[in-house]
Amino acid sequence: MAPLEDQRSTVYKVDPAHPETETLPTLRTEELLLNMGPQHPSTHGVLKVILELEGERIVKSTPVMGFLHRGVEKLAEGMTYHQFIPHTDRLDYVCAMYNNFAYCRAVEKLMDITVPERAEYLRTIVAEVQRIIGHLFWLGTQALDIGAMTVFFYTFRDREILLDWFDELCGARLTTSWYRIGGVERDFTPALVDKLWRFLEYFPPKIDEYVIFLERNRIWLARTKGVAVISAEDALNFGLSGPTLRGSGVNYDLRKYEAYAAYPKCEFSVPVGKNGDTYDRYWIRVEEMRESLKIIRQCLEQMPKEGPILADVPSVTLPPKDRVFTNLESMIQQFKLFSQGFDAPPGEIYCGTEAHKGELGFYIVSTGGGRPYRLKIRAPSFIHMGAFDYMARGYMIADAITIFGTYDIVMGECDR
C-alpha cells in the first residue's frame, strides 16, 4: 500500500504572489460515496440512493429500490378481478381512492361496461377529494423536508377533515376500496353532501393561507426556484407525467385527453408551468387544488338526484348489498363473483388514469376466465425515479431531498 502522503493530491496550487500558502495542508480530493437511506425521514418510504459526491455536489446518483416490493403483479395473477381491488389500495397508500379508480376503469374497459351517470359523478367527486388530499399531503411533507415546518400542521389539519369524510363514506380513512367494477360501493348520504358543501366554503381561504406561508418564505423560494429543472423534451423523453411533466410546460392531462368519468361535463383548466423547476410544480399543485374544488362544485350541482350507482351487468357487477342479505340468488351471485370471478374475454387493454402524481395505468392481458393472465401496473413514482439521476446531477446533497419530494414519490407504488 502506498504511503498516505502519496494518496493525497494537491488542489490548491501555490500562488507565486503568496508563497505563504505553501504551508497550507493538502486536501484529499477523491470522490465521496454516500449512502442516503434506506432509513431517512424524507425518502417517503424506504428508498436508498447512493450519491457520488464532489464536495457537496452530486456527480452521480444511483437509486436502489425494491425495499417495499411485495410482488403485487404476481399476486394479481392468482386473484379474481374483484378480489384485487383491496390490493390496489396498498400501492399508493396515501391516495387509495385513485388507485381503485384507475384499476376499476381498466377492468371496465376490458369488460366493456358503461358506468351509470350518477356513479360517474360520485366517482369524479371522490377522485377529486382524493386529489386534494394527495396534494395537501405532498405540500405538507415537501415543505417539512425543505425546512418550512409550519405548513405541515396546517395541511394535515385540513387533510384530516377529508379523511374523516372518507371514514364516514366507506368506513376507512386510507385503505378505502370504495370503487367497484361498474360503479361504486355505496351512495352519498345527505350528511356527506352537506359536509362537502361546507368544505367547499371552508377550504379556499386555507389555500391562500398556505400560499402566504410559503411564498413569503425566502428559504422556501431559494430552495425551490431553479432547483431540479428539467426541460419539456427531457421530461417527455423520460416518460414523466402529472404535475412533474406539466411543470415543464407540457399540457398533458388525461382528464382532458381521454375525457373519462364526468370530467368532460365540468369546466376546469389545467395549470401548466414554464420553468420546469420545483417551484412551478408546487404552483401547479396548489392551483390544481383550486381546480378540484371547481370540479367538485360543478359535479354536486349537475349530479342526477337519483339513479343507479352500479352498472346492471349481473354477470360482472356485484348485486346490491341489501339484496345479498335478503335474497338467496343474490347471495349466490356475490359468492360466485368473488370466488370464481367473471369470464373476461381474451384480449389485452391498457387504461391510464390521471392520478395526482401522474399517469397511473393498468395493462391487463386476459386469456379468458376469472383471473388476469398478466397485470402490469404503470406506476408514476417508479417512472419518475428513472429521471432522478439526470435531474440530481450538479445539485447539492440537500437538494436531493427536494427532488424526491418534487415527484411526490410514494415507495409503496414505486416498488409494488
Binding site for another protein (CB under 8 A): 65-66, 69, 71, 73-75, 77-78, 109-110, 112, 234, 236-240, 250, 252, 257, 347-350, 352, 359, 361, 363, 365, 373-374, 376, 378, 382-383, 385-387, 390, 415-416
Sign of the dihedral through C-alpha 397, 398, 404, 406 = negative
As a whole number of angstroms, the distance between CA 110 and CA 104 comes to 10
For another protein, the closer of residues 213 and 363 by Cβ is: 363
- Closest distance of CB 386 from another protein, Å: 4
Residue 99: how many other CB atoms lie within 10 Å: 30
Shortest Å distance, C-beta 146 to another protein: 26
> Taken in order 16, 19, 21, 26, is the CA torsion positive or negative?
positive
Taking the chain, what is the end-to-end CA distance rounded to the nearest angstrom? 46
Q: How far apart are CA 81 and CA 316, in angstroms?
A: 10
Cβ proximity to another protein, 231 vs 327, nearer residue: 231
For the CB of residue 238, give the shortest distance to another protein in the complex, in Å. Answer: 4
CB of 346 to another protein, least distance (A): 10
Q: 63 or 140: whose CB is closer to another protein?
A: 63
Nearer to another protein, 112 or 160 (CB): 112
Smallest gap from Cβ 188 to another protein, in A, equals: 31
Please count the other Cβ atoms lying within 10 Å of the Cβ belonging to residue 134: 25
Which of residues 64 and 212 has its CB atom nearest to another protein in the complex? 64
Q: How many CB atoms neighbour CB 331 within 10 A?
A: 14
Nearer to another protein, 61 or 176 (CB): 61
**DSSP type of residue 344:** P
**Are the C-beta atoms of residues 241 and 359 closer than 8 Å to each other?**
yes
* Segments in 147-277 forming alpha helices (H): 150-170, 190-215, 218-224, 232-237, 243-246, 254-257
Q: Pick the closest to residue 263 from 131, 369, 81, 399 (CA basis).
A: 131
> How far apart are CB 343 and another protein at their closest, in Å?
16
Shortest distance in whole angstroms from residue 61 CB to another protein: 12
Which is it for the CA torsion 320, 326, 328, 334, positive or negative? Answer: positive
Is the Cβ of residue 90 or residue 173 nearer to another protein in the bound state? Answer: 90
Cell numbers placing 317: 357487477
